Every structure is written in C-alpha cells, then in structure tokens.
Structure 1
Amino acid sequence: MSGRIAEKFRSLSVEGRRAFIPYVTAGDPTLSATRDLVLSLERAGADLVELGIPFSDPLADGEVNQAAAHRALRAGATVEGVLETVAEIRKGSSLPIVLFSYLNPLLRMGLERFASEASRVGVDGVLLVDLPLEERLPGLESLERGLTRIHLVAPTTAPARRQAIAQAAEGFLYCVARLGTTGVRDEAPAEAEDLVRSMRTLCTVPACVGFGISTPEQAATVAAYADGVVVGSALVERIGAWGAAADLCERIEHFARRLAEGVHRASGKGVPAAPLREPAGERGRVGHPCA
C-alpha cells in the first residue's frame, strides 16, 4: 500500500499545518487538461488531490459536478483513461492522489483489475461514494490491500455507525460538512466542527471536511478545526466556465492558490490536529455513513 497519504499528513502534523485538498473531475475538459490542472494545483499549494471518475448518474453530486461528469464523458473519459492520466501525472509529481468514484464504473472494469492498474500507475487511495462498509464484493479485498480506502462520515451518522467507521478508517476521514449534494455554498458549514470533534474521540485518523466550501474565507474557517479542507465545486465550476480558455491552468492555479493560502494561514488555530497513529482494535464493516 502506498504511504504517500500517511507521509503527507505526518509531515503536515509536524509542521502544524492543515491539508488543502482540491477536487476536479478527471476528463473535464479533457484528460490531457486534467494532467496539467493537477500539476497547476500542486504549484498552487495542494497537499493532496482528489480526481473524480466521471459517471453518468452521480447521485451525491449537485448540478456543477454532474455537468462536469457529463462533459468528461462526452470528451471520451474512461476509467482506463483516468488511470493513464495518473501515470502521466506521476512523471512529474509525487502528490498523493485519491480517486473519487461511484461503484459502477469500477465494477464494469473489474475491482481486481482496477486495483492492480491503479496501484501500478501510482494511485494512493480510493473513495467509493456509494459502497456501504458492510458490503463485501469479489475483488474488494484486492482493492483494499493495494489502495487506501477513504471513508465518509456525515452529521447524521448514528453513534454506532461512527464507531464502525472509525475502526475502519485509514488515510483520512472525509467528513461531509452538510446534508444534501455537493455544490457551492454562501457560508461555511456549521455542523462540521461538531462532527470532527466527535470523530476525534473515536480515532486518530486525520479528519478532513468537504461539501460546499467555496471561498478562501470559508476554507480558513474550516481549517481552524479540521485536519484538511476539500474544495471541489468551486474549482469545477470555474473549469466549466473557463474550459475553452488557453490560460485555463493559469486561472485555476491563481484561484487555487488563494484557497491554499486560506487553509494554510489558519493552520495551528482552534482544535489541535489529530495525532497520526493507526486506530487500535479490529476494523468494523457496517453500513454507509450517509444512509
């Protein structure tokens, strides 16, 4: 299993800093542009990056990310193409990469084949949005051996479910900031801080917050208590608006740098970052946190 995610959070913890984690849809506007965008995000200050595998029915996503997935699919993006893009990124970057995906595209490829190819090209982790913890599928063990599986936890997740997620957690926890789908919001989430505090009583895996964080100010607010901040729709919306521009990467780098500065200037404030130790105890396998 790749150690890039753990190493990144370990170094951030030593420095007293929080992680800036941008999300973009792979293949929007093209897969070659995705490669260049990831390198631009790294220059802007990204600590990890999430790449969304486009899917035709992305139920957890709002209009912005749905539109991006459809653009990517129309441009010819496939799971195999996304993995080839990661291989291209790896020629110039060691940035930790997490693939954000619904289950269907990976089942179509085959979980064992996906796990093998993803590990080979340098993917570090995978977040399967719609796969419950208790669901055990053929090939899933191969995926979990080769990649760090990131789990979601939501404000509505029951205490017993939170405990099970904590026992299964590795890499980092993705704390869903609010109810509903992804999308740009006017205010930073209020429920997320309580969720982060709750999960820190259960495990020591870093707790990162996403869904609806759109501005440097919101990012700074969340970074004051979370170990990392995920920003997706705000970037994806701009990629949709600027996708045909010759200076797309420069524009995104400029915008992302402001977000990264918001996260990094808030580092060390508020709730202490989680100590980086693996949680003790047997890993649980119960249902989806957002159910």
Structure 2
Amino acid sequence: MNHIQESADATVPTQPQGFSKQPSQTAARLTQLKAENKPAMIGYLPFGFPDTATSIEAMRTLVENGCDIVEIGLPYSDPVMDGPVIQRASQIAIENGERIANVFKAVEAVAEAGGVPLIMSYWNLIFHYGVEQFARDFAQAGGAGLITPDLIPDEAGEWIEASDRYGLDRIFLVSPDSTDRRLKVVTQHARGFVYAASRMGVTGERDALDIAPQTLVRRTHEAGAEFVCVGIGVSNAEQARTVGAYADGVIVGSALVHTLLDEDGNAKTDTKAALQDLATVTRTIAQGVHTARQ
C-alpha cells in the first residue's frame, strides 16, 4: 500500500518536447533582402557596455540606423577571437557585473525595434548556464539564433538538439583555411547563415581587405550554404560596399564599438554624444552595405 502511494505521489517525468517547426528568422530576413537585391547589414555590440541601459539603447540605435540583424555579444573573460577594441569593451561590461541572464533584455529590445536578434557567445558561457535552459529563455525573449566562434558542428550535438527543439539558428564559422570537406560539414549543420571569417586571426578594424573572403564565400555557397555573411575587418562604408557585392551579409563590430570608447580606451562619459556617433557610423556603413549592388 505504501509503495503504491509513493508511486502515485512521485513526479511523473515529462515527455521530451518535439522539434519546433518555426522557420528561421535570420534566413527569412536574408531572403527578404535578397529579393530586394541587398545584402544584410549586421552590427555587433557587446551587451553591458558601457552599462546595461546604454548598451540596450545602443542596440536599438543600430536597428534604427540601418542594421537588419544585431549580433549581441556576451562578455567573456578570455575572448580568444576578439581584438583589442572588443576585448576592452567586454572587460568594462564584466567589471560592471553583467551576467548572461540579463542579455535577454537586449534580445527583446532588438526584436521590438524590428531587428533580428542574434547572440554571439563563447560556448563555455552557454554550457554553464545550461544548454536547454538557454535555448528556452532565448527563444522566449524573441531570439533568432546563436553564433558560436569556438564550437564546431562535430562537438555541438547538445546545441543542435536544443536549437532544433526551440527553432533557433545555429551559426558556425568557416575561414579561408577551411577545407572543402569542412565547409560541407558546417553547411550541413548550420541554420540561418554561415559566418565567413575574412581571415585567420582576431577581430578588428583594417585599412584594407584582400580577396580571400570573396573566394571563401564562393566556396561556401558551392558547399551548399544558402546564405554566407562575412565578418572580421570591415571598418568603413567603402569596405562594406565591396564585401556586400558578393556576400549575403556584412558583419561590422569593432568600428561600431569604437564609437563608444574614448582615446584612452574608456567608455565615453557623454552618453548622448556617443550614441549619436554610433548612429552616424552605423547609418554610413549601412548605406554602403545596402547600395553594394546598385
């Protein structure tokens, strides 16, 4: 009798949730822009820099001034792929005590402004938050997908399952050194677009770009990718226009983050002026992206 009662009172395990049939938000926006013969302007900013409220306002500013997709960076103590500008901004956010749970406020803000919200994060942060919990919270906030610079498809089984369950995009990276076989593996497991790093190395502004990213975009398309977006090194409207002529999207990070830092590498004290500078730079580069094929 006691055994029966204990069994009746026990928590019945829930059945696994089925896979979401929700289409890719990112691919939908890229498809819309492709019909207009335009590449996407994708802007990056780290969350929590220079503070929570300003970072959220800055991400709204990106959308209001031409960003179709916003890449929200999660500050990390060991950002191996980021250059000095983004490293400094991330350090300021960490010093402010930002935590991963707060980033969903930025996701909601971008979605409400009409942009497609992505999160860029090193995998350790997602792993410790809880992959299933992150996917659920991200989807509930209106998030579109996750960019994982240090997670390869071969080791992404848990994320692939969780992202399929909640209808989230998986954006993996390829580089000019990627073999044709690697490009096919990435393409087969990516959802939304494939992130083509224009060169090996860290992020940062560059005076000039070479032809490597154009070749990489072509090879990635040939490997089966529907959309390929290029990042790392795009610093101004002229470069953005050049890349936008052959890529499905142009990713700009350091040049935008730079507008919020002063000459000493600290957050500008005049927040209003900093946001105005951000708006001007975003608008100028976005115009270069959107007119790349005219």
TM-score by length of 2: 0.86
Q: Which amino acid aligns with 1:220?
A: R
Partner SS state of residue 211, structure 2: coil
1:137: Cα distance to partner? 5.4
SS of equivalent to 1:260: helix
Shift of 1:173: 1.0
The residue type paired with residue 207 of structure 2 is D
For 1:267, the equivalent position in structure 2 comes to 293
C-alpha contact (below 8 Å) 1:21/1:48 kept by paired residues: yes
Give the Å deviation of 1:221: 0.8
Aligned AA (2:119): L
- Percent identity of equivalent pairs: 34
Give SS of 1:266's match: coil
Which structure has the bigger radius of gyration?
Answer: 2
User: Secondary structure of the equivalent of 2:139?
Assistant: helix
SS in 2 for 1:230: strand
Residue 219 of structure 1 contacts residue 262 of structure 1 at CA under 8 Å; is this kept in 2? yes
For the residue of structure 2 that corresponds to 1:134, the secondary structure is: helix
- Count of aligned residue pairs for this structure pair: 267
SS of equivalent residue, structure 2 residue 155: coil
SS across alignment from 1:27: coil
Cα distance in 2 for partners of 1:200, 1:140 equals 21
Over residues 234-261 of structure 1, what are the superposed CA-to-partner deviations in whole Å (9 max), with x where a residue is unaligned?
1112222263223222210111100001
2:161 aligned residue (129, 141, 151): 141
Distance of aligned partners of 1:2 and 1:56 in 2 relative to their CA distance in 1, 3 Å threshold: farther
- Further displaced range: 178-187 or 238-247: 238-247
Counterparts of 1:68-79 in structure 2, within 5 Å, are: 68-79=89-100
- Report the secondary structure of 1:189's partner residue: coil
User: Unpaired segments of 5 or more residues in structure 2?
Assistant: 1-21
Secondary structure of the corresponding residue to residue 106 of structure 1: helix
- Alpha-carbon separation, structure 2, partners of 1:26 and 1:198: 33
User: Are residue 16 (structure 1) and residue 16 (structure 2) matched?
Assistant: no
Question: Cα RMSD over matched residues?
Answer: 1.6
Match of 2:269 among 233, 244, 257: 244
1:1-291 to 2 correspondence within 5 Å? Answer: 1=22, 3-90=24-111, 92-136=112-156, 138=158, 141-146=161-166, 147-241=168-262, 243-247=268-272, 248-267=274-293
* TM-score, normalised by the number of residues in structure 1: 0.87
Cα distance in 1 for partners of 2:186, 2:25 equals: 22
Please report how far the alpha carbon of residue 3 of structure 1 lies from its aligned counterpart in structure 2 after TM superposition: 3.4
Query: Which gives a bigger RCO, structure 1 or 2 (Cα 8 Å, sep 6+)?
Result: 1
Structure 1 unmatched runs, 5+: 269-291
Q: What letter corresponds to residue 48 of structure 1 in structure 2?
A: I
